[in-house]
């Protein structure tokens, strides 16, 4: 998978280059805005990691211009700005996700995976979170290598959670994923479903934020 990293800070750029190569990505490292825009138009990378404060052309302008010329490469913005307004601007400009410095490499890797999955569709048909793994084509789940039998709805729920592993998913989104948008869902149907999943996958596989939603941690033990 080919990634373009745009970062003008030499230290951070070098460190990220090593980290991404360690994770198995092919990385091109660029240091300014015009080069980033040219690379987006010319090389069609699979994903771009883009710093906002760039010499030559601001990161936001790079995103805007790329989107205007119908470049659909997923762009993950990495920035030192974190005011909410900046975040909105970044997403409004057409970035796909937004990560504030400093961050953990794991977090970055997870966001990149989620992003490329969204763009490519589930090409490899597999979603993983630590010891938990599902195959979307075969509708099969494994925990620590052992197959786990899931109902259709349990599988849909787990799929939605795994697509956003490490983040809390609001119950409204989960209900829509499991029951469809139009269906009226009875009060505790989702709780019952989660309870069933927990019994099969272990209590630690799904975290509850009561009254709000659920999450599957990135590393299910």
Partner 1 sequence: MRASLRGRLRWLMLGVLAAVLLPLGIFSAARSIREIDELMDGRLAQSAHTIQSLRDHAALAAAQPNQHGTLEVPLGTQRHPTEREHAHTYESEVGFQVFGRDGKILLSSTTLAELPPPVSGDTGFKDVQHDGRRWRIFTLPPNADGVVIRSGERYDSRRDILHALWIEHGLPPLICLPLLAVLAGWAVRRGLQPLQELRGQLSARRPGSREPLRLEHPPEELQPVLAALNEQFARMEDALERERRFSADVAHELRTPVAATMVNLENAMAAPLPSEAHAAIGGARQGLVRLARRVEQLLALARLEAVPAARPTTPVDLVALATAVIDELSPMIAEGRVELGVGFAADRIVVQGHEAALLALLRNLLDNALRHVPDGGKVQLSISATDRDAVIEVTDDGEGIPPERRAAVFARFHREAGSRGEGYGLGLSIVQRAAQWHGASVELLDSPFGRGLRVRVAIPLRCDDAVVKAEPERWSIFRAPPDIDA
Applying CB under 8 A, the residues found at the interface with partner 1 are 9, 11-12, 15-16, 18-19, 22, 53, 78, 80-85, 88, 91, 96-97, 100-107, 111, 114-115, 118, 164, 166-170, 172-173, 204, 207-212, 215, 217-218
Report helix, strand or coil for 178: helix
Min dist CB 185 to partner 1, Å, is 16
b/e sequence 110-122, b meaning 16+ C-beta within 10 Å: bbbbbbbbeeeee
Min dist CB 66 to partner 1, Å, is 17
Cβ proximity to partner 1, 102 vs 137, nearer residue: 102
Min dist CB 1 to partner 1, Å, is 18
Cβ proximity to partner 1, 23 vs 41, nearer residue: 23
Residue listed under structure tokens 């630690």: 204
Two structure tokens written together for 48: 């771009």
Two structure tokens written together for 80: 């030192």
Cβ proximity to partner 1, 78 vs 134, nearer residue: 78
Min dist CB 35 to partner 1, Å, is 19
Cβ proximity to partner 1, 147 vs 180, nearer residue: 180
- Phi then psi dihedrals of residue 148, to 5 deg: -120, 130
Cβ proximity to partner 1, 53 vs 140, nearer residue: 53
For residue 6, the cross-strand partners are 30, 50
Min dist CB 82 to partner 1, Å, is 7
Cβ proximity to partner 1, 43 vs 170, nearer residue: 170
CB 117 within 8 A of CB 163: yes
Closest by CA to 145, choosing from 135, 136, 137, is 135
Report helix, strand or coil for 155: helix
Task: Please calculate the CA angle 7-12-13 and round it to the nearest 5 degrees.
Answer: 45
Min dist CB 211 to partner 1, Å, is 4
């Amino acid at each position: 998978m080919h990634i373009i990293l745009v970062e003008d800070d030499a230290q951070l750029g070098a460190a990220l280059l090593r980290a991404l190569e360690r994770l198995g990505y092919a990385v091109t490292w660029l240091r300014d805005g015009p080069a980033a825009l040219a690379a987006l138009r010319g090389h069609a990378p699979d994903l771009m990691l883009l710093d906002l404060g760039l010499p030559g052309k601001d990161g936001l302008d790079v995103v805007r211009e790329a989107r205007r010329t119908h470049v659909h490469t997923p762009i993950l913005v990495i920035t030192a700005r974190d005011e909410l307004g900046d975040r909105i601007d970044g997403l409004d400009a057409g970035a796909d996700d937004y990560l504030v410095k400093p961050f953990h490499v794991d977090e970055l890797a997870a966001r990149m995976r989620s992003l490329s999955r969204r763009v490519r569709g589930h090409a490899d048909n597999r979603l993983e979170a630590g010891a938990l793994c599902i195959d979307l084509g075969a509708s099969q789940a494994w925990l620590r290598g052992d197959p786990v039998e899931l109902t259709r709805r349990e599988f849909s729920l787990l799929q939605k959670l795994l697509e956003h592993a490490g983040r809390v998913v609001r119950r409204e989104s989960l209900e829509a994923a499991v029951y469809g948008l139009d269906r009226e869902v009875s009060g505790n149907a989702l709780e019952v479903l989660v309870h069933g999943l927990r019994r099969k996958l272990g209590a630690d596989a799904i975290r509850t934020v009561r009254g709000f939603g659920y999450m599957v941690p990135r590393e299910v033990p």
